C-alpha cells in the first residue's frame, strides 16, 4: 500500500488504491524514464548515433529512489530537471548529447500524464466490464419482475425492474 500522504508532489489527491498506484512515485518515475529513453533512442536514430540504443536501455533500467527528486522539485517546481541531472551523471560524459536534448520538462510531464491516464482507463475499463456483467445478470434474473414505482413517496404506476 502506498502512503499518498507522503507522495512528493501528489500528496492528498488520490484515494482509489488501484488508480493511486498508477500515480505512485515509482510508477511516475518509471514512466519518465521510459519517455527519456524513447526520446534518446529516437534522437539517436535521427542523428545516426550507434550508441543511442545502449543509452536508451541504460536510461530505462536506471534505478533511482523517487525521494531523490525532492530537493530538485523544491528548487525547480517539477522533478524533471533533477531527474535529467541524475541521468546524465549516471550515463557519464558524452551522454548529454542525446539525453533530454530538445525535450522540455513539460513534454515529459504531459506525456507521462497521458501514459498514466491510459493506465487509468485500463483500470476503469475492467471495472465497467464487471459492472456491465453484474447489471446484465440482474436484468436477466429480475428484469421481468413487477414493482410499484414511487413518486414523491406516493405509489405510482406498476413498472418492471
For residue 1, pLDDT over 70 is answered with no
Give the tens place of pLDDT for each residue, 112-157: 999 999 999 999 999 999 999 999 999 999 988 998 988 888 999 8
Q: Give the Å distances, CA to CA, from 14 to 9, 23, 49, 79, 81.
A: 11, 8, 42, 19, 25
Q: What is the DSSP letter of 150?
A: E
User: Pick the residue with more confidence: 2 or 22?
Assistant: 22
Give the tens place of pLDDT for each residue, 67-119: 999 999 999 999 999 999 999 999 998 887 899 999 999 999 999 999 999 99
Q: Which residues pair with 155 in a beta bridge?
A: 150
pTM given for the model: 0.79
At residue 54, the pLDDT reads 94
At residue 130, the pLDDT reads 98
Identify the three-state secondary structure at position 30: helix
Those residues whose C-beta lies under 8 Å from the C-beta of residue 93, and which sit 6 or more positions away, are: none
Give the tens place of pLDDT for each residue, 7-49: 777 666 667 889 989 999 999 999 999 999 999 999 999 999 9
* Distance of alpha carbon 77 from alpha carbon 106, whole angstroms: 11
Q: Which long-range contacts (CB under 8 A, 24 or more apart) does 128-136 make?
A: none
CB 37 within 8 A of CB 54: no
Amino acid at each position: 500500500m502506498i502512503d499518498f500522504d507522503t507522495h512528493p508532489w501528489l500528496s492528498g489527491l488520490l484515494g482509489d488504491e488501484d488508480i493511486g498506484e498508477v500515480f505512485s512515485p515509482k510508477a511516475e518515475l518509471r514512466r519518465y524514464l521510459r519517455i527519456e529513453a524513447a526520446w534518446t533512442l529516437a534522437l539517436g536514430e535521427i542523428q545516426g548515433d550507434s550508441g543511442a540504443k545502449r543509452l536508451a536501455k541504460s536510461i530505462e533500467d536506471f534505478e533511482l529512489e523517487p525521494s531523490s527528486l525532492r530537493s530538485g522539485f523544491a528548487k525547480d517546481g517539477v522533478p524533471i530537471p533533477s531527474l535529467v541531472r541524475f541521468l546524465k551523471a549516471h550515463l557519464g560524459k558524452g551522454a548529454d548529447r542525446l539525453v533530454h536534448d530538445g525535450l522540455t520538462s513539460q513534454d515529459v510531464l504531459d506525456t507521462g500524464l497521458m501514459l498514466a491516464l491510459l493506465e487509468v482507463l485500463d483500470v476503469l475499463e475492467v471495472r465497467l466490464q464487471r459492472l456491465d456483467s453484474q447489471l446484465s445478470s440482474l436484468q436477466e434474473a429480475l428484469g421481468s419482475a413487477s414493482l410499484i414505482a414511487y413518486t414523491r413517496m406516493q405509489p405510482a404506476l406498476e413498472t418492471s425492474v
